[in-house]
Structure 1
Amino acid sequence: MASAKTPQLTDFTVDILGRYMGNGLDEALHSIDKNAQRPDGTPQSDARPFNAIIIGGGSFGGVLAQHLLYADKTNHYRILVLEAGRHSLPEHFQNLPLQSQPSEVWGLAWKADPALKYPGLAYTIGGRSLFFGGWSPRLLDEEMPAAKWPGNVVNALKTKYFDEAGRQIGTDATNDFVDGELHRALRKRLADGIKNNHVRHAIPLNQLPLHLSNVGSNPPDILKLEAPLAVHGKPPLPGFFPINKFSSAPLLMEASRVAQNRSGGDDVKKRLMIVPDVHVTRLVTGQRNGATVVTAVLLKQFGVEQSVPVPEDGVVIIALGTIESTRLARISFPDLPNTNLIGQNLLAHLRSNLTIRIPRSALPSGLPAALQCSALFVKGKFQHSPGDFGYFHLQITASGLDKPTTDSESELFKKVPEVDQIDALRQSNDDNVVITIRGIGEMTPDNTTNKVTLSAELDEFGSQVFANGQDYEVFDPPQGAPKQIFKIPATQAASTVLPFVQRRDALGTTHHEAGPLRMGISAGNSVTDENCRFHHVANTYVAGPALFPTIGSPNPMLTGTALARRLGDHLKQPLAQADPGFTLLFDGASTASWQMSTIKNQPGRDNPGRFHVVDGGLESAPGTDLGLFYTKINFANYILKLQWLAWREDDNSGIFLRFPDLNSKGYDNTAFVAVDFGFEVQIDALGRGDPPPGQNVDKKFRTTGAIYNIATQNLDESVVAHGPGQWNEFEIRVKDNHFTVFLNGQQKTDFVDNDPNRGQAVAPHFIGLQTHTGHVLFRNIQIKLHP
């Protein structure tokens, strides 16, 4: 089914955002077909396969895709994101004045005990990040025990990636959008209660780290009670808008548009494609170099099964929800040495809620009539037995109200676009405060009853989740932490408290499943290694909470984001290194020292083309007339080395040597300055072109390796280039007026220049790469002084 080329019309909308973000599966597959044509009819022999296939465009697949696009400076990867849902919301639903959470995208993809009340997955670009609560604390060191977590992973998280993730999602700064007199009053009373040991199991504030970047060098401990909310309330720079509540959808939108703009609208050159509404059913495996690898991704769209090939340098990243990622791994890898571990160690969070309402009289005097809101955070631990601790935290929200309700977030996480409601809120006379205390506790890892297994039904699987009895002890004691917190703001005994069973949420409701593809050093007790790769599948990785060996009490967004960014950095390719004695003219990433020739006064022939950074190289893309991508050389005599690859026999380019500044001659097409005043080492297997006016120059002097149209050179016709799709190497030696060209280690031509107007041995001068016909790729461009 062909994708619409323009935004489609629905009964109510123009699908601008979906079309601007996504590509159809047909478009993605067409872009990798070397035998196909571009829309203008030109061949696309330069098409490259997708070599980073991310399965899942939700919370962590989105983070990884965006970061890999930016971190991969060499443009090694073409990234394909395959998402089962479609585009629905452009950002977190609370950043929009929707009044309530949309429910249209949710679906349960697995079988589970109904008592667990799984809401399932958000089938949409951005996934559950569009709807999550935003609470994103950082794991304590004790929640990443050395016996469970690889040491270098913990070190990387603590020294770099937790900070990066905090900046990404917005937990690195104080929540100034929450700050107000009610907030400060409740925060102080809570701090005093913890200091005076009135909250059992709360970790003293002076024993907790503080990870805020905007609080100065000696911040007070009370700031450790600030809620770690994934909200950017302030702009990052003057002139910019704040991001507000985090989700991965804006990351994917930006990344998609950046990829589109960098490609110049050429899908073949587009480095990131997001394909919605496709369901990956299985990963096909094979053997390469003695290792198991994924060779293709099978998927279905509109009932038709298709496949996406995985090239030899390709990687596959499973970034679905935790249970779906595990299902796909179990189906795809049934015969690994440690397949039995896939699905073990399923973890979730225990969650209980206590909502209370207190009168204004229980609060300090002097608060304004409109009490506003508060959001606070308490970290705690419970000792099950000597040396055995369970960790939990309390998420506390409060709102002042002038009408009795139980909504403690009535003035939190709201976007109100009109002044009438804002004025009403400012003028309210609140006489009550509703407070909700939500306890989040970790489950014990390695519980053999907690697992994901495949069902007998085709493509379905069951999720067996049972809580270890001791996990609930954090919240069960008569004087448990939530009840203690209740007493602190009210300064009076609890009167009516809901029965405990009614306060406890079902295990499936938190969306915090983790652990069944856990990482570790040994393949004997973990599924993936310290770099998130399956121990026994050489090219397949995991992103998301399925990796966590333990879960701690923090919601998985911060840690999952940190690990996704770390994985992106692990996958990125290193920059090129020069050979001994040489200096790179292009390092495989930055073109800052290069510039493109210009054309004026040539209507219809005014595009010199461009060069794309492709896999650490520079690839020519022709325009409507000759073009040159050039850089300055500060010495006259040199040895220039580079590798090049032509995709077709009729691809044409060249390397221009020793020409002056292109803007020094007043040419309309400045590239012809290099033609008239420099020399070209030709790349053209067919020897096309015309001899100079009035001269009868044999076409062999216009073939690959020859100095273009110079009849006096000593050309060895027996030295020929490798065919299309194979790399070749030039070594060009320029000494005074003597030019020598080696092709793949053999001397191709030798020439002495006696023309006083061309190729003079002066410095500085320039060298350049030509856009002419087709697409030629250059890499490892390096130079050294010729002695």
Structure 2
Amino acid sequence: MQRGEVMALKIWVARNNDTLRIIADQKCISIDDLIKLNPSIEHPDQNIAGRLVNLPFFTESDMRQVAIPPTCHIPTDYIENWIPLTSLETMADTEYDVLIVGTGAGGGTMLWRLCEQWRNNGKRIGIIERGNIVMPTHGRNLPMMNRTRLEQYYRYISKPLQGSYPEFIGAREVICLGGRTVFWDVVASRLNLPLLPDWPISVYEMDTFYNIAERVMNVTDEYVRGSTLTEILLDRLQQGGFPESIYMPIAADIHPTKFGEVHGDVFFSSFSLLAKASFLRPFDLAINARAVQVLFEQGKAAGVKVMSPDMSSYILKAKTIVLSTSTYETPRLLLHSGIRGEAVGHYLTNQVYMLAPGKVNRSDFTDIPGNLGILIFGTPDRPYQIRLVGPNGYDWYPSSQEKPFLEELDILLQCFGRITPRYENRVVLNTDRIDAYGVPEIEVHFEFSEEERSEIQKMVESVKRISSVADMTLGEICLVPTGDLHHTSGTCRMGDDPSTSVTDLYGQVHGISGLYVADNSVLPFIGSGNPTLTTVALAIRTADHIVTQA
């Protein structure tokens, strides 16, 4: 230190067993300087625990010579969207091992499973979506949504299905990234397979893939457990002649956050699977990409002709193609591509959908009655499924909106009646109506059988009995317009016989190697159950089969 130069000091409180020598070693300070600054301490090896020790801080010259740390490196890489997108121009320069068409439940599942199985190899996977991005997750996961707003937004995003009038008047299409899973009701029940005649896959094998699907979709029956609205009504139903009543299985991630993990997508949608896939391995995703024709050579899939909104045309080459474009669009694409098997577009099925609103006395439940979610499975005597939801419909939102105290609670009975697959219920091309991309629009032919009409009355009687057992005041029962329910299936049904099915038992189109279907259209019969969980389970099974064939 130079003569006249000022030294700044700082004070250190000695810890247990500290000595001046130990402190000098720890602080990289000269022991001689430390002794000079602390003349009251008799010996450098004396235990000075708890005493105040003067430490040199900086001299003025030290301060002038201290090194300034280098500037931190700030990355300049960026992505143009919250989900990485690939241009069609780039995709046209690649030959894909698997190209998936459609991003709904089937397409999203197929992408995730292939990425999981092929995470450490060089396989090239592409996926395209006809629509744009309208939401980044299931609508129920957005804090500004409630039931009414979500229904209103669905009516804005979805469009009436061209060619559905008048026989399927309620049908609508959801054309966007994530497809219908952006709006679906998140009820994830297994189909009651013993009630479905000639289901082509064994119950034992289906259990394996149902288990995987339930895990990846976070299916739980815990969502409404403990709610007095559910507990009391469930007890009334089980004691009153409906022992098949259960807690409604919901595809909802209700696990608490651990170790800083983010649980942002509580309610499942295809985005949950797109996210999982994106962290497993690279893949290419293009939106606003309309598939107009499947290309094949000598009985083998070769690629897909795709058009952009500006009508530019691209050929995306692929060794394996998976169509996941919906019960309406998949047969449309097959038919327009010249794939005209006897069953393509036929055996269209859905469900009779009936609503029965009602009210229960508010005083029967606790101060916070909670949400209602009960599922009554179909039985051989009652081959239809009934759900009890409420209050106020599917009002399952962690919303901060104020809920007024009501003397009565509105609940809703949703009834789903089976429709037997029949050849005459079908989707066909209407060559007199061509869309902007040069693809014929479809025409839907559909009607109830006499058996299905008579079953509607049986459903009404069951609803009346349920309302009596549940001590519920029943309102006006009504049938939802045919086609409005998004449980359509069967138009590319799987089976062994090419004369009555479109694909084999792994979803591969009869007669065309490497062309698969993975959406609701492959389901040969759904009875009265929700099809989504089964579609996901079968898509996993098909993906695993593709992996074994590669």
TM-score by length of structure 1 reads: 0.55
1:134-533 equivalences in 2 (<5 Å): 134-145=186-197, 148-152=198-202, 154-158=203-207, 160-171=208-219, 173-177=220-224, 179-194=226-241, 202=242, 204-205=243-244, 225-235=246-256, 239-242=260-263, 243-259=265-281, 271-287=282-298, 292-301=299-308, 302-310=310-318, 314-334=319-339, 339-360=341-362, 363=364, 367-381=365-379, 383=381, 391-399=383-391, 407-409=392-394, 412-416=395-399, 418=400, 421=401, 424-425=402-403, 429-445=405-421, 447-457=422-432, 458=434, 459-477=440-458, 480-490=461-471, 497-498=475-476, 500=477, 503-533=478-508
Query: How far did residue 471 of structure 1 move?
Result: 1.7
CA contact (8 A) 1:348 1:510 kept: yes
Query: How far did residue 320 of structure 1 move?
Result: 0.5
Q: SS of the residue aligned with 1:111?
A: coil
Q: 2:537 is matched with which residue?
A: 562
CA deviations 1:585-612 (Å, max 9, x no partner) are xxxxxxxxxxxxxxxxxxxxxxxxxxxx
Q: 2:62 is matched with which residue?
A: none
Query: How far did residue 278 of structure 1 move?
Result: 0.7
Query: How far did residue 127 of structure 1 move?
Result: 0.6
Distance in 2 (alpha carbons) for counterparts of 1:29 and 1:116: 37
Query: How far did residue 79 of structure 1 move?
Result: 1.0
Distance in 1 (alpha carbons) for counterparts of 2:201 and 2:108: 26
Q: SS of the residue aligned with 2:121?
A: coil
Name which of 170, 183, 208 aligns with 1:131.
Answer: 183
Distance in 1 (alpha carbons) for counterparts of 2:374 and 2:224: 13
Aligned length: 460
- Matched residue type, 2:175: Y
CA contact (8 A) 1:370 1:429 kept: no
Q: SS of the residue aligned with 1:568?
A: helix
Rate the CA distance shift 1:76–1:109 in 2: closer, same or farther, 3 A: farther
Match status 1:111 vs 2:163: yes
Distance in 2 (alpha carbons) for counterparts of 1:29 and 1:478: 52
Name which of 78, 87, 95 aligns with 2:141.
Answer: 95
CA deviations 1:726-785 (Å, max 9, x no partner) are xxxxxxxxxxxxxxxxxxxxxxxxxxxxxxxxxxxxxxxxxxxxxxxxxxxxxxxxxxxx
CA deviations 1:251-294 (Å, max 9, x no partner) are 213423543xxxxxxxxxxx41111001010112221xxxx112
CA contact (8 A) 2:305 2:315 kept: yes
1:596-607 equivalences in 2 (<5 Å): none
CA contact (8 A) 1:382 1:474 kept: no
Rate the CA distance shift 1:72–1:108 in 2: closer, same or farther, 3 A: farther
CA deviations 1:446-485 (Å, max 9, x no partner) are x232111111233212111212221243331386211111
Query: How far did residue 165 of structure 1 move?
Result: 1.0
Q: 2:121 is matched with which residue?
A: 75
CA contact (8 A) 2:105 2:181 kept: yes
Rate the CA distance shift 1:21–1:114 in 2: closer, same or farther, 3 A: farther
Query: How far did residue 382 of structure 1 move?
Result: 5.5
Rate the CA distance shift 1:7–1:117 in 2: closer, same or farther, 3 A: farther
Rate the CA distance shift 1:378–1:256 in 2: closer, same or farther, 3 A: same
Distance in 2 (alpha carbons) for counterparts of 1:95 and 1:246: 9
CA contact (8 A) 1:316 1:539 kept: yes
CA contact (8 A) 2:225 2:247 kept: no
- Matched residue type, 2:355: N
Residue identity over aligned pairs, in percent, reads 22
Distance in 2 (alpha carbons) for counterparts of 1:547 and 1:448: 15
Query: How far did residue 181 of structure 1 move?
Result: 2.0
Name which of 87, 103, 128 aligns with 1:57.
Answer: 103
Query: How far did residue 392 of structure 1 move?
Result: 1.3
CA contact (8 A) 1:256 1:273 kept: no
Q: 1:26 is matched with which residue?
A: 89
Q: SS of the residue aligned with 1:175?
A: coil
**Greater CA deviation, 292-301 or 314-323?**
292-301
Distance in 2 (alpha carbons) for counterparts of 1:479 and 1:133: 23
Query: How far did residue 75 of structure 1 move?
Result: 2.5
Q: RMSD in angstroms over aligned alpha carbons?
A: 2.4
Rate the CA distance shift 1:237–1:524 in 2: closer, same or farther, 3 A: farther
- Matched residue type, 1:460: E
CA contact (8 A) 2:347 2:490 kept: yes
Distance in 1 (alpha carbons) for counterparts of 2:449 and 2:261: 48
CA contact (8 A) 1:143 1:551 kept: no
CA deviations 1:65-106 (Å, max 9, x no partner) are 111111125535311111101222121101112231224432
Structure 1 gaps, min length 5: 9-15, 33-48, 195-201, 206-223, 260-270, 384-389, 400-406, 575-614, 616-787
Structure with more contact order per residue of length (Cα contacts < 8 Å, sep ≥ 6): 2
CA contact (8 A) 1:452 1:464 kept: yes
CA contact (8 A) 2:119 2:280 kept: no
Distance in 2 (alpha carbons) for counterparts of 1:429 and 1:369: 9
Rate the CA distance shift 1:294–1:455 in 2: closer, same or farther, 3 A: same
Distance in 1 (alpha carbons) for counterparts of 2:303 and 2:229: 57
Rate the CA distance shift 1:142–1:90 in 2: closer, same or farther, 3 A: same
Q: SS of the residue aligned with 2:347?
A: coil
- Matched residue type, 1:188: D
Q: 1:690 is matched with which residue?
A: none
Distance in 2 (alpha carbons) for counterparts of 1:472 and 1:382: 18
- Matched residue type, 1:124: C
CA contact (8 A) 1:351 1:510 kept: yes
Rate the CA distance shift 1:484–1:81 in 2: closer, same or farther, 3 A: same
Q: SS of the residue aligned with 2:306?
A: strand
Q: SS of the residue aligned with 1:456?
A: strand
Q: SS of the residue aligned with 1:285?
A: strand
Rate the CA distance shift 1:486–1:245 in 2: closer, same or farther, 3 A: same
Distance in 2 (alpha carbons) for counterparts of 1:351 and 1:479: 11
1:606-625 equivalences in 2 (<5 Å): none
Query: How far did residue 534 of structure 1 move?
Result: 0.8
- Matched residue type, 1:392: Y
Distance in 2 (alpha carbons) for counterparts of 1:279 and 1:228: 35
- Matched residue type, 2:179: G
Query: How far did residue 54 of structure 1 move?
Result: 0.6
CA deviations 1:232-264 (Å, max 9, x no partner) are 2224866434441110113213423543xxxxx
Rate the CA distance shift 1:27–1:257 in 2: closer, same or farther, 3 A: farther
